Structure 1
Amino acid sequence: MPIENIPDLFIPEAKTSPEMLVHDFRMTTDNVKSKVNLQMHMFSFLQIGRKQVHFAETAIDVNKNQSILTTKGNCLWTELIDTGKIYYCKLLFFSEQILKKFLEKHSFSIKQQKRSPYYIIENDDYITAFINSLSAIGNEALMKNEELLFVKFEEILLYLSQKYGDSFKSYLHSLIYKENSHFREIIEQHLYSNLKIEEIAFLCNMSVSTFKRHFKNEYAESPGKWFHNKRLEKAKILIEQERVKASDVYLEIGYKNLSNFSTAFKNKFGISPKELS
């Protein structure tokens, strides 16, 4: 699956990358776990449909009553048509330089927090009016008038700072500080997910070969074998000690069907999940 460089994908080749960008994103078919290299921080004001984003550390579901502020970096996007025949969100991209300009103008007294890959926003009447105002002005007009676009950017940040207080203010500050991802933390976050090795490698900002080499240095085992064993050991505990049925276990530990899980379980432990329960 090719990597989508966003927002470069939305910028005509003749134009240079702007510090801010507004884009209307629409789809008429579901899009499942596309690889995205998000090159700027981004507001996604979801209007129609559902969205799921896999980050290195976690995953989040967003519905049409919510919006999400996402940090730049690698992630996996799933965008789903809901009750209608279209998926639609208004995207607002901004650079760290623009954010610094805002923070220098509005000095907030905050406590530094650990950088998170996202911030969930509950949509309300004001946010709806804000989105409508962007549409009324028009994306092209906003892109031609950088001062006006910054005013709109400033407006939504000030409103959300008032709405969510120190939590949002601290989050904004965290976006301008670099933080190295901890490899082991990322691995353990996805221990029981159904993500493929190549997808976890992507979230670690590594090629598959680099990921496998780094993994073996850390765990002295190949990732495939390590994940396989850890998941089966977890399943054995759930079935044997907590009396959970195999039919309720296999999805939880990352298997896609019961038959494959039962075969793998018996190959490792010499006994089927049914015999153990």
Structure 2
Amino acid sequence: MSIENIPEIYINNTKESPELFVYDFKMTSDVVKSKVILGMNMFSFLQVGIKQVHFAGTSVVVNKDQSLLLKKGNWLWTELLDTETIYYCKLFFFSENKLKEFLEKHTTKKQIIKHEIPYFIIKNDAYIISYLNSLSTISEVPSVFRERLLSVKFEELLLYLLQKYGRKFELYLDSLVREESSTFKKVLESKINANLKLEEIAFLCHMSLSTFKRHFIKEYKTSPGKWLQDMRLQKAKEILEQGHLKPSDIYLDYGYHNLSNFSIAFKNKFGCNPSEI
């Protein structure tokens, strides 16, 4: 699977490096777990469809009633059509310089609190819908004025979200201008239940598959495939012991394509069939 560098692939003149950039993304077929290197922080205003994203230590799903603010870095994106025949998302990219200018102007320095989550969910309320309509008209403005207008619109948006979400949103913005490197173990252990391939987990760790395997064996003293299988089977056993779900309800969630293979692996590890739990 190829890797997409965003927003670079959307910029016509590759010599340009705009600090603010708006792009209307549309598609007519589903995309599952596309590898994306996000070079700028980005608002993803979902208009039609369903979006799921995986980052280093987390994942989130939103529909057309919600939008996301995403931290730059390596992501896996799944974008699905809903009831319509088209997927539509308005993307608003911004540089760290623009964000720092805003924070210096509109916030006061407080004690730094670490913010772990690389996304922020925004409700598409009446204001956001109206804002997006006004943002759409900027594309019709002569380019000489567009950058200044985008700066005003960027500041307007952040001020509104600060007013709506308060300290929680301010902490998130602060996290975007601070370097926070996710540890290898944290990334890996957060993806036990994510049903991702090793190659996809390696991508989220910013590693090639071969480097990932070497690092894993050094850290865990076993192969990543065996470790993930054991951990997923252990999680599956814990779920079954709660008594709410059957093996046929969960085998896909733990990386098995059919119930028979799940049952064989489960019995080999625990000495009994999953249906006996």
The TM-score bracket by the shorter chain reads over 0.9
Task: Show CA shifts across 1:184-222 (max 9, x none).
Answer: 111111112210000011111111111111111111111
Q: For 1:74-85, what aligned pairs fall within 5 Å after superposition?
A: 74-85=74-85
Q: Corresponding residue for 1:256? A: 257
CA contact (8 A) 1:110 1:169 kept: no
Alignment partners' CA distance in 1, 2:129 and 2:67: 11
Q: What is the one-letter code of the residue matched to 2:21?
A: L
Q: Corresponding residue for 2:182? A: 181
Secondary structure of residue in 2 paired with 1:251: helix
Q: What is the one-letter code of the residue matched to 2:225?
A: G
Identity %: 59
CA contact (8 A) 2:187 2:205 kept: yes
Change (3 A) 1:57 1:143: farther
CA contact (8 A) 1:24 1:89 kept: yes
Change (3 A) 1:249 1:89: closer
Q: Corresponding residue for 1:217? A: 218
Q: Corresponding residue for 1:122? A: 123
CA apart distance, 1:39: 0.2
Q: What is the one-letter code of the residue matched to 1:9?
A: I
Change (3 A) 1:159 1:235: closer
Q: What is the one-letter code of the residue matched to 1:12?
A: N
Change (3 A) 1:233 1:105: closer
Q: What is the one-letter code of the residue matched to 1:72?
A: K
Secondary structure of residue in 2 paired with 1:145: helix
Alignment partners' CA distance in 1, 2:200 and 2:35: 8
Task: Show CA shifts across 1:16-40 (max 9, x none).
Answer: 2211110000011111110000000
Q: Corresponding residue for 2:166? A: 165
Q: For 1:169-248, what aligned pairs fall within 5 Å after superposition?
A: 169-239=170-240, 241-243=241-243, 245-248=246-249
Q: Corresponding residue for 1:153? A: 154
Change (3 A) 1:217 1:120: same
Q: What is the one-letter code of the residue matched to 1:48?
A: V
TM-score under structure 2 normalisation?
A: 0.93
Task: Show CA shifts across 1:24-82 (max 9, x none).
Answer: 00011111110000000000111111100011111100110111000000000111111
Secondary structure of residue in 1 paired with 2:254: coil
CA contact (8 A) 1:48 1:88 kept: yes
Q: Corresponding residue for 1:61? A: 61
CA contact (8 A) 1:110 1:166 kept: no
Alignment partners' CA distance in 2, 1:217 and 1:137: 52
CA contact (8 A) 2:53 2:61 kept: yes
The answer to whether the aligner puts 1:99 opposite 2:68 as a matched pair is no
Q: Extract unaligned runs of 5+ from structure 2.
A: none
The CA RMSD measured in Å over matched residues stands at: 1.9
Secondary structure of residue in 2 paired with 1:138: helix
Q: How many residues align?
A: 275
Change (3 A) 1:216 1:96: same
Change (3 A) 1:29 1:143: farther
Q: What is the one-letter code of the residue matched to 1:218?
A: E
